[in-house]
Copies of this chain bind each other. A is one copy, B any other.
Amino acid sequence: MDKKRVTKELLDSIKGYQDRVPYQSPFALQPADRKVDAENLKDQVRRSKIVESLEEAIKLSGLKDGMTISFHHHFRNGDKVLPMVMEIIARMGFKDLRVAASSLTSAHECLVDHIKNGVVNRIESSGLRGKLAQAISEGLLEYPAVIRSHGGRARAIVEGDVKIDVAFLGASSSDCMGNSNGVVGKSICGSLGYAKVDAAHAEKVIMITDTLVDYPNYPISIPQTDVDYVVVVDEIGDSSGIMSGATRFTKNPKELLIAKKVLEAMLASGLFVDGFSMQTGSGGASLAVTRFIREELIKRNIKCSYALGGITKAFVDLLEEGLVGKLFDTQSFDLSAAESVGRNEMHQEISADFYANPFNCSPAVDKLDFVVLSALEIDKDFNVNVISGSDGVIRAASGGHSDTAAAAKMSIIVAPLIRGRLSTIIDKVTTVVTPGSTVDVVVTDMGITVNPARPDLKEKFLAAGLDLVEMEDLVAAAKFIVGEPKPIEFTDEVVAVVEYRDGSIIDVIKKVK
């Protein structure tokens, strides 16, 4: 076209247009990594993002020493993406990388070697388990590991505290442009809730799939607009590895007793009315709570409006029975859930941002009535530890614990008073993940106790005839049974930092002596 229509001189004469540029050609202005020549325009539009190998994609991504790479843990123990990618990255000779994973599991022990070899020097994750956790607790890392809740990680990424340079995202299916999901293909994992956040904010996104489908893929969990490269590999994960916690109804009498007491507390709270909402975990007691809730819903002829969080078969069954209106799924906790989220439109995949980022306009946790959460340790100030063992070694995950506890109208922490020869209810938790001020009710096999900050709940529980115990009495009973635990001896070296969901530092984990 006649380029003289708009000149710099003309723009200079228009109010507010002094620093603007005249049109040159259709693809003259573009993000720096993409250029289209003025000749044969239509042949150059990028209509496929498939690259031949992970190595090629890594080269194209511009990865450099010291950068931040990210992974999701939707395959949990079945993940094959992180080991595969890290092996190639190590072979390519990269150093000093930060691994910002949504969580790390037993599938990720290879990181111990990559840290030893200098490929990785920083780890950020919701959880750490097994050999990796042990090694980090022993001071393997140059920088302390960073533990974040799911909502806290979403916040950190969205707000730019964590800038991901290259996200390596496994998806069970993708088309040639990167439209992808976790519900179609040979290796399904269900929701891609954590991966969605990485995809939306990473500088470069490499989509890794073992099932390439025709364009356009359906459903679209991660859109092509977020994806830079697509790599097809043999296998991204083992679907059977996604299983988390119990799936069968517990016969453990302690768990059944706790579940029964949880239900009593929920019923007494005044919140168990038509349209209430809830999140429960995947442990034995939680699963039993879900079963008891089902019976109450039927008896009272009411419905739960939505259930949130990691979704299990128990909730899929409630949805299919019409007892729960909708499921909001950040993470599918078993194959039934993974299949359901791809099949039932009322079982909705949500991002970790939608789930729990405290800095967006409002995450889904803000509408929770009940959350039932487990604990490794609870102290007399109601603080909860879900990250480190009573030996001081990192062993579990922050998850959505502090996010849901802070927002739910009634947060319920469940735990047996004693596990083996260790007390769960103690004077001071080894590590604080969830602050006591957000914990409303603690339910143990030895009784229910209410946070003194919630006299309203205590009053309702007493009016309903519930037996309540005082926190001090639980601590004393535990001491009576198993004795005073020997204090853990730590060095001064900080091996991990626990971030609260708002980015402040709520605790640190020190190296064990």
- Which chain A residues have a beta carbon within 8 Å of chain B's beta carbons? 1-2, 5-6, 10-11, 13-17, 20-31, 38, 41-42, 45-47, 49, 142-144, 177-178, 205, 214-216, 218-220, 223-228, 275, 305-306, 325-326, 328, 345-346, 348, 353-354, 357-364, 366-367, 381, 383, 406-410, 428, 432, 435-438, 440, 453-454, 494, 497, 500, 502-508
Contact = CB atoms under 8 A, between A and B. Distances in A.
Nearest to A275: B214
A10 B497 CA distance: 11
Contact of A47 (B25, B358, B366, B438): B366
Contact of A29 (B5, B20, B502): B502
Contacts of A225: 353-354, 357, 360-363
A328 B177 contact: no
A494 B14 contact: yes
Contact of A224 (B26, B362, B453): B362
* Max count, chain B CB within 10 A of own CB: residue among A215, A216, A345: A216
B46 A228 contact: no
Contacts of A494: 10, 13-14
23 contacts: A5-B507, A6-B506, A13-B494, A14-B494, A15-B142, A17-B505, A21-B503, A22-B505, A23-B505, A23-B506, A26-B502, A27-B406, A28-B502, A29-B502, A31-B359, A38-B437, A41-B437, A49-B361, A216-B367, A220-B348, A225-B357, A225-B363, A227-B362
Contacts of A506: 5-6, 23
A46 B368 CA distance: 11
A1 B362 contact: no
B21 A504 contact: yes
Contact of A508 (B10, B205, B436): B10
B5 A432 contact: yes
A356 to B, nearest CB: 10
Contacts of A28: 502, 504
Contact of A381 (B2, B306, B328): B2
B41 A438 contact: yes
Contact of A497 (B17, B215, B219, B504): B17
Contacts of A10: 494, 508
Nearest to A409: B42
A423 to B, nearest CB: 19
Given A214-B305, A354-B223, A381-B1, A508 B361 contact: no
Contacts of A218: 326, 345-346, 348
A5 B46 CA distance: 53
B361 A178 contact: yes
